[in-house]
Amino acid sequence: MFRYNNGIFLLFVCLHGLQYTSADSSKLTIVVEKLLSIREPLELEVCKNLGYNSTTKINFLKENQRNAKNNAKFKALMRLSRTGCSPLVKNFACTLFAPPILPDSGVLPPCKSFCYALTKSCAFYLRWASLFSSFSGSCKLTKKGELFRGSASRTREGIECQEWSSQSPHSHSFTSERHPKKDLVNNYCRNPDGEPEGPWCYTTSKKKRWDYCRVPMCSVHLHCDLLSDKGCIHYVYDNMAGDYKLEVKGTPSQSQLKKWISEFSKDELEKIYTLT
């Protein structure tokens, strides 16, 4: 529910997992529209210096910007950004997780063409890498899988893995103290030394010191067709400034935004990311 208090909405609405009928859809759209109209200062550090200073109370994935850094999808997009496949991955992520509120246009979604440009530039990584790798824990980002952070804990032969903190039955030097950035927790399969075939572990069998784990590759698709090029956010390269500049593409209309919000309210945006 929400109420007014000195012009500020005090909102107590749980949008995650919200169940509603078609009759409730318009009511939910109104609530979401109000949430998206509330302006707050941009605090998400990675999104600063991208051409705007204000964002919305909630983003297009029904979260506040402060939750983004803990969101698996946002983390995955940041990993994709670090591959260098496109300078605009970070910008695209920010339009979803900390969308800009523009003086004349209000809040707008990213453009379809923006999404397609990203997909084209990062085709290799999207084909073989999983944006959900840390979330699903079922696949690896590359063949070596050095960034794999799933909970697989058995070798390809089915032997249970030894705890990284344990020195029995096999003593070793791969501990979290010596390798704090390798996520050597519990008995989860990891690849701290860059073994060529992927994540591995020490086994609980005295007969087998270590072995690879069965962690498959993943494929991901960004379903850009769910977006539109009518009143949306895009970034174009400014030769004078030597950087990308935020622009509004098309003519924003209230009806188009209401349609977008309605679809957003029905969890359509969750379909932008699918694992295959």
Can you give the CATH number for the domain in which 204 is found?
2.40.20.10
CA distance 257 to 254: 5
Number of domains in the chain: 2
Residue 188 has pLDDT above 90, yes or no: yes
153 and 110: one domain? no
* % of the chain beyond a pLDDT of 90: 34
**Residue 246, φ and ψ in degrees, nearest 5:** -70, 130
Paired tokens of 168: 């029995």
Q: What is the pLDDT of residues 191-200, one digit of tens each?
A: 999 999 999 9
Query: Where is the domain boundary, 177, 196, 215?
Result: 215
The pLDDT score that the predictor gives to residue 171 is: 97
- Residue 9: pLDDT over 70: no
**In the predicted model, is pLDDT for residue 177 greater than 90?**
yes
Owner of token pair 């945006």: 269
Verify that 65 and 24 share a domain, yes or no.
yes
What band does 10 get if pLDDT is binned at 50, 70 and 90?
very low
pLDDT in tens, 207-260: 999 999 998 776 566 778 878 888 888 999 889 888 899 988 887 666 666 666
- The pLDDT confidence band at residue 274, using thresholds 50, 70 and 90, is very low
Q: Provide the token pair at 184.
A: 């050597």
pLDDT at 186 over 80: yes
For the ranges 59-63, 111-115, 168-172, the lowest mean pLDDT is seen at 59-63
For residues 255-273, give the mean pLDDT. Answer: 58
Q: Look up the pTM and report it.
A: 0.58
Higher-confidence residue of 14 and 182: namely: 182
Q: Name which of 42, 36, 41, 84 is nearest 269 in CA terms.
A: 36
pLDDT at 136: 53
Residue 135 resides in a domain = no
The mean of the pLDDT values for the chain is 77
Residue 51 has a CB neighbour count (10 Å cut-off) of 16
* Measured distance CA(145)–CA(264) in Å, rounded: 34
Predicted confidence (pLDDT) at residue 1 exceeds the cutoff of 90? no
Has residue 14 got a pLDDT over 60? no
Query: Would you say residue 6 lies in a domain?
Result: yes
pLDDT in tens, 116-141: 999 899 887 776 554 544 455 667 76
* pLDDT of the residue at 208: 97
Residue 161 forms part of a structural domain: yes
Does the residue 133 lie in any domain? no
Range of the domain at 119: 2-128+219-275
Does residue 10 lie within any of the structural domains?
yes
Whether 31 and 116 share a structural domain: yes
Do 206 and 225 lie in a common domain?
no
Burial class (CB in 10 A: 0-12, 13-18, 19+), 120: exposed
